[in-house]
Every structure is written in structure tokens, then in C-alpha cells.
Amino acid sequence: MTNLLTKVTLDNGLTVHLKEIHTAPIISHWVWYRVGSRDEIPGKTGISHWVEHMQFKGTSRYPSGKLDKAISRDGGFWNAFTFLDWTAFFQTMPANKINLALRLEADRMANCTYAPDEVESERTVILSEREGSENEPLFRLGREVQLNAFSTHGYRSEIIGEVEDLKSITRDALYHHYRSYYQPNNAQVCVAGDFKTAAMLKKISRLYQDVPAGTHPPHPSQPEPALGGEKRVEVKGPGETTFLQIAYRAPAASHPDFFALSVLDSLLSGPSSLNMFGGGGISNKTSRLYQSLVEKELTVGVEGGLSATIDPYLYEITLTVHPEKTPDQVLEAVNREIQILQAQKISEFELQRAIKQARALFAYGNENITNQAFWLGYADMFESYTWFENYVQRLETITPDDVLRVAQTYLTPSNRVVGVYIPVNHKEKTE
């Protein structure tokens, strides 16, 4: 049975995506806002994530503390995410209980109160979360790599923000950020599941029709210059394990090279899941770096990461260094594998295996109704839903020449940041 897909823009600028899926009596409802850490300025890093938290603190109609119980009582679950480019809220409910979710999101788009005591309470929570991250080696390493990978773009800051900013951001600054970005002409409602399109569209239109469009919200333009040479950073901190992270500047998701780089990622380190909500898992044991590093006991693990973003971001390779090896030995081995990729075309067999694995991981991330609703909005954040619909076909057009070209274009020393995390009790090893 073909799923009915509808996209409508209301008079106030709200985009509505609807996808009928009648496989189970479930509906997943998402609201997406075009605001993330890329929209923040120095001194207010982390404000988008904090605003996301404040949206759970209630309105006059739906006071704080009652919504969890109401959604759980109706057999649903809910959550929210803040990313580089967007903030999203969702509820997945039995189909006959979805009206609560619809009313809730329409209400908190415009009517959250940001009570001063709630702001201070959440400041404590977020600061605790941020300070706890300092005990995580990969957070500490990733933060320094990210800071060095960008000089002007909002992508340089961690989504959770810097401690100094989180201590100084005011209630009024939070509320201003909320009112600037949480408006219908900067948002989209995405619903997938067991409903009739005409009836669902009527409900959504009625709930949002009186929410006025706002001034077009600011999205600071921050062109990022080329790195201009390899950068290296070293981080020391708690733990027992040494990590190596190599971050290459990568194209935006809308760039044609993104698809070839996705195949290269699958071949080199194992496919990355583009579905940030989760779903599925594919072994990376056939990847080149696993075979040349993990199987030869240079590393304990290897993982690649490629994100679908509005602007050019990063392709990251994270390696857990074997206790008996050094970061320099691991980096030398990675460089060797990349040089091989850049020197000769891969075989058709290896290409098809990499495409198959990337395709399978992509499919696993689209299995259930929640993931279907997720993709309705996610793809539109950085390109369009057509990007999602054509993703597999685009992968299958990639050739060995394409993989060779993107390896030569992007995986160069002058286009990367190399970061090493050394635990404080680590004893320097010599070759």
C-alpha cells in the first residue's frame, strides 16, 4: 500500500508534513524549529539547548510536571533534541490519543512562561550536565577539535554551551531567543501514522491558525575560511584510555559530494547512521580501518562520523588507541590507508559492499513510525524530503572514480584537525 504524503504551508508560514501509514494504530508527531547552535553568538553559547529544556516547564494551560504523567498515562512517550541546525520536539502516541500532543505543541509554541525560578532551577541542571561532561574524554577531545576546526562559524561551539555563558545567560535572553525563533514561519509540524490526512490537516490548521507569523528570525551568516593547514591539539584529562580523533572539513548534505563521501565513510570506517534518533546497527569489521588497525592491534576500536548539515561540517574518525601503542603509530597507519585510497580506484566488489552497508543502515533507521516522522522534518532542515526519498538511488550512482575523487579532495592533511586525548596517568611510550 502506498503511503499518502502531503505538504502544506499555512497562511502564517507554518509548514505541515503529513504521511499516512496504516500499519499500526500509532501516530508520531514532531515539531521542528530552524534554530540550533549555529545561530548562537559568543557569550550565549548553549542558549538553544537551554530553551529546549525550558519548553518542558509548562504554560498556563499545561503546567510543569503534569505533561509527563498525562502522556505516560495515555501510553505515549516524548522527548526533544537540539542539534547544530535545529531543535525538535516529538510525541509518539496511540492514534486515538494524539490530540493531547497536538494541543500541547501548539500551546507551547507561543505560551511558555519562563518563570524566573524555573530558569534558575534549569541553570543548575544544565551546568551540572555540562560540568559532568568534563569527565568524558571524548567530550573534552571533541570540543577542542571542533573549536580548532572552525574560526568564525557557529559550528565551532558545543551544543550544550560553555560554562561561562551558561552562568551568565539571563531569563530575558532565554525568553528573547524563544520568541525570536519559536514562531510558525520558522517551524514545521510533521506527523506520520494512522490518521486521515484531511482530518489531521484540519486539526493542525485550527490549532495554529491564530499563532501569528513573526519577523524572519536571524540566522547569522558566518562564512568559514579554509583551514589552510593541518592543526593538532592535545588534551589531557582523567581516564585510562588514549584516543585519537581526526576531523576533516566535509561538504554540506545538499552538496553532490556528500553521497560519495558517505560511501567512502562506509568503506573506510563503516557506515555512519544519519538518523540521529537512532535505528539499526551494521558491523564495521569489513572496513579498511578496522582490518588495518583493530585486527592488527593498533587500536581497540574505530568509528567514523558524517553528519547531514546545512553548511559544511566535519567527517570525523575516532580511534581508541591500543594500550601498547602510541597515537603517532595509529596516525601513521591511518595516513597509509588514506594514501592507498587516494592512489588507486577501489574495486567494484568493495564499492558495492560499502554501498550495500550504507544502504542497509539507512533502511534500519527508517523502520518504525517514529523514524518515518523524524525524516519528514529532518531532511527538510538541511535540504528537502526529496533528499531522503532519493538517498538510496544517489548512493547507487556512486562510482570508484567518485570515491577516488572525494578521497583526494577532502582527506588531505591541510583539511584536517588531529586531536589526541592523553589520560593523566598515561605514561609516554616510545617507539
Instruction: Assess contact for 403 and 307: CB atoms under 8 A.
Output: no
* Inside any domain, residue 148: yes
Model confidence band, residue 277 (pLDDT cutoffs 50, 70, 90) = low
pLDDT of residue 188: 97
pTM, entire model: 0.93
* Inside any domain, residue 26: yes
Task: Report pLDDT digits (tens) over 322-369.
Answer: 999 999 999 999 999 999 999 999 999 999 999 998 888 888 767 789
pLDDT of residue 251: 97
**If phi over 0 gives left and psi between -120 and 50 gives alpha, with beta otherwise, what is residue 50?**
alpha
Q: How far is CA 232 from CA 94, 236, 275, 329, 416, in A?
A: 51, 14, 30, 15, 9
| pLDDT over threshold 70, residue 245 | yes
**Pair (253, 395) in one structural domain:** yes
Average pLDDT over every residue of 68-87: 92
**Pair (168, 248) in one structural domain:** no
Task: Report pLDDT digits (tens) over 151-192.
Answer: 999 999 999 999 999 999 999 999 999 999 999 999 999 999
**Pair (235, 122) in one structural domain:** no
* Inside any domain, residue 429: no
**Pair (370, 413) in one structural domain:** yes
Model confidence band, residue 232 (pLDDT cutoffs 50, 70, 90) = very high
* Inside any domain, residue 297: yes
| pLDDT over threshold 60, residue 280 | no
* Inside any domain, residue 215: no
Average pLDDT over every residue of 260-281: 81
Whole-number average pLDDT of the chain = 93
pLDDT of residue 182: 97
Give the whole-number percent of the chain exceeding pLDDT 90: 83
**Pair (201, 247) in one structural domain:** no
pLDDT of residue 431: 39
pLDDT of residue 302: 96
Q: How far is CA 211 from CA 108, 183, 319, in A?
A: 11, 8, 48
CATH assignment at residue 292 = 3.30.830.10
Domain hosting 310: range is 231-423
**Pair (262, 355) in one structural domain:** yes
Please state the domain count of the chain: 2
Q: How would you class 107 by CB atoms within 10 Å of its CB: exposed for 0-12, middle for 13-18, buried for 19 or more?
A: middle
